[in-house]
Amino acid sequence: MNTNTASTNTAHRPADDGAGAVWDIAATVVDPEIPVLTIEDLGILRQALVDDDGAVTVTITPTYSGCPAMDAIRDDVVSALADHGYQNVQVRLTLAPAWTTDWMTNAGKAKLAEYGIAPPTGHAAAGPIRVGLSVKCPQCSSLNTRELTRFGSTSCKALYVCQDCKEPFDYFKVL
């Protein structure tokens, strides 16, 4: 079991050897938009099952319903499992419960910061409460930053600039 997973993440590596092996393989698939993160780091890997006939089902949840990376991730999961001898593989997409940045692992958040993307801070709100918080610059660690645009290079990121070092950077939004 991954001990770096946020406490609100309900997905865990299965204890069953067969499903656990499938989980371990699927967990190596990287996000095509942020290649330093695996789908396990992101918390979008939700379930791995192997039935009595050896058929595999992997369930993933997109970071948002229109995420264009999901087709590539699905293909990469199928390919990774095929490389390990699994031929009958189905990858299911589920939208409920909706993905939240609370599902990201602490290791994944650290990888984001090392990559130059400010990781999400805090926890997703249950309601429409929005409070503006400072976002730490991943370059110089300053809190003197401001949002340039709500949508950055992808819809799950915002574009910020540091007022101290003047560097722009992506911020992975709390969702």
- In angstroms, what CA-CA distances link 45 with 117, 140, 163? 21, 32, 36
- 134 DSSP β-pair partners: none
Cβ within 8 Å of residue 149, ≥6 positions away: 158, 159
Q: Which residue has the tokens 């058929």?
A: 55
Sequence spans of domains, the chain? 17-100, 116-172
137 CB burial (10 A radius; 0-12, 13-18, 19+)? buried
Q: Name which CATH class applies to 17-100.
A: alpha beta
Residue 5 has pLDDT above 50, yes or no: no
Residue 6 has pLDDT above 70, yes or no: no
Convert the pLDDT of each residue in 66-123 to its tens digit: 888 999 999 999 999 999 999 999 999 999 998 999 999 999 999 999 999 999 886 6
Of 65, 68, 146, 142, which Cα lies nearest the Cα of 98? 65
Q: What pLDDT does 49 receive?
A: 95
Q: How many angstroms separate the CA atoms of 166 and 152, rounded? A: 17
Q: Stretch 9-34: mean pLDDT, rounded?
A: 90
Pairing of strands 56-60, 45-50: antiparallel
Q: What pLDDT does 150 receive?
A: 85
Predicted structure pTM score: 0.72
Q: How many angstroms separate the CA atoms of 117 and 61, rounded? A: 22
Q: How many angstroms separate the CA atoms of 169 and 162, rounded? A: 8
